[in-house]
């Protein structure tokens, strides 16, 4: 056993959660069990702060929109699940829109997203957002060059309008490496419970990696604004990415009461824009 293990670590390993991990996987290492237990403990503390945030949003009639963008399999949905796990489901909604209907295709592009914006006292999480038109649609030929150009010309004004109307907007981009995306796709395809997630768009994602990168850079250059900046989350490690996203969200929201001791080690998240 590792000589660096402390008495506190031993208590964690001998806990119910620690013993269960050893029973479920007899090949798991002590260090991995400790990492898992530390992650769960940290996540629980942050989730308690998220409940305070939601109470503040409701009491002060705040409106919050949180966008999760990133390549396929970057961990966006998993992060949203951890954030919302213990929140009051009546006071938030998760929006993951399917491809537009024929009627929606004839509307102003932003129209169907406007219909999902929060009422007073509500948080809305977008699992992909209007930024589909910045990357996914042009890369896969789902929009014309003209439609892409119109979107890029309007999006900053759109975000200025909604923020000036009182909506607090946070934009996360979950960034993973090509090797990590490939490994996650393989894991998804092997899983009977997850393989439904592997879409035709996913099948082309690795082949179109460089195209995605090109449009991602264009998006950052145009839409990383003072009003609505992008926050890049390094997401090769899912647990670390989830913690950093929650920490950042808690750090930028002026909710009260806020336990600064819980979020005091918020890291400065690197913004690789350009």
pLDDT given at position 268: 43
SS3 233: strand
The DSSP annotation for 41-76 comes to: HHHHHHHHHHHHHHHHHHHTT-EEEEEEEESTTSSH
Q: What is the pLDDT of residues 163-173, one digit of tens each?
A: 999 999 999 99
Q: Is the pLDDT of residue 10 over 80?
A: no
Q: What is the pLDDT of residues 172-228, one digit of tens each?
A: 999 999 999 999 999 999 999 888 989 999 999 999 999 999 999 999 999 999 999
Domains and CATH numbers, the chain: 46-252 (3.40.50.300)
pLDDT given at position 38: 84
pLDDT given at position 195: 87
Q: What is the pLDDT of residues 31-81, one digit of tens each?
A: 776 677 889 999 999 999 999 999 999 999 999 999 999 999 999 999 999
Residue 202 to residue 204: CA distance in whole angstroms:
5
Q: Give the mean pLDDT of the chain.
A: 90
Q: What is the pLDDT of residues 140-159, one digit of tens each?
A: 999 999 999 999 999 999 99
H/E/C letters for each residue in 78-105? HHHHHHHCCCCHHHEEEECCCCCCHHHH
What does pTM read for this prediction?
Answer: 0.87
């Amino acid at each position: 056993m590792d000589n660096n293990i402390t008495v506190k670590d031993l208590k964690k390993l001998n806990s119910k959660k620690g013993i269960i991990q050893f029973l479920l996987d007899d090949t798991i290492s002590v260090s991995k069990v400790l990492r898992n237990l530390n992650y769960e403990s940290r996540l629980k503390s942050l989730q308690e702060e998220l409940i305070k945030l939601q109470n503040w949003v409701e009491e002060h009639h705040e409106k919050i929109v949180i966008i999760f963008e990133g390549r396929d399999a970057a961990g966006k949905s998993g992060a949203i699940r951890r954030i919302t796990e213990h929140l009051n489901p009546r006071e938030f909604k998760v929006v993951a829109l399917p491809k537009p209907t024929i009627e929606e295709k004839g509307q102003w592009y932003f129209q169907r997203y406007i219909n999902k914006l929060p009422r007073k006292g509500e948080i809305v999480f977008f699992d992909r957002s209007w930024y589909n038109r910045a990357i996914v649609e042009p890369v896969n030929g789902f929009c014309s060059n003209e439609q892409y150009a119109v979107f890029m010309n309007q999006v900053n004004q759109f975000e200025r309008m909604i923020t000036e109307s009182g909506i607090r907007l946070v934009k996360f981009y979950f960034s993973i490496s090509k090797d990590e995306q490939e490994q996650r796709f393989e894991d998804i395809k092997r899983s009977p419970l997850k393989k439904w997630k592997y879409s035709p768009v996913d099948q082309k994602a690795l082949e179109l990696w460089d195209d995605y990168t090109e449009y991602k850079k264009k998006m950052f250059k145009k839409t990383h604004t003072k009003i609505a900046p992008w926050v890049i989350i390094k997401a090769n490690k899912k647990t670390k990415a989830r913690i950093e996203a929650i920490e950042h969200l808690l750090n930028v929201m002026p909710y009260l009461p806020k336990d600064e001791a819980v979020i005091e080690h918020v890291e400065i998240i690197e913004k690789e824009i350009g």
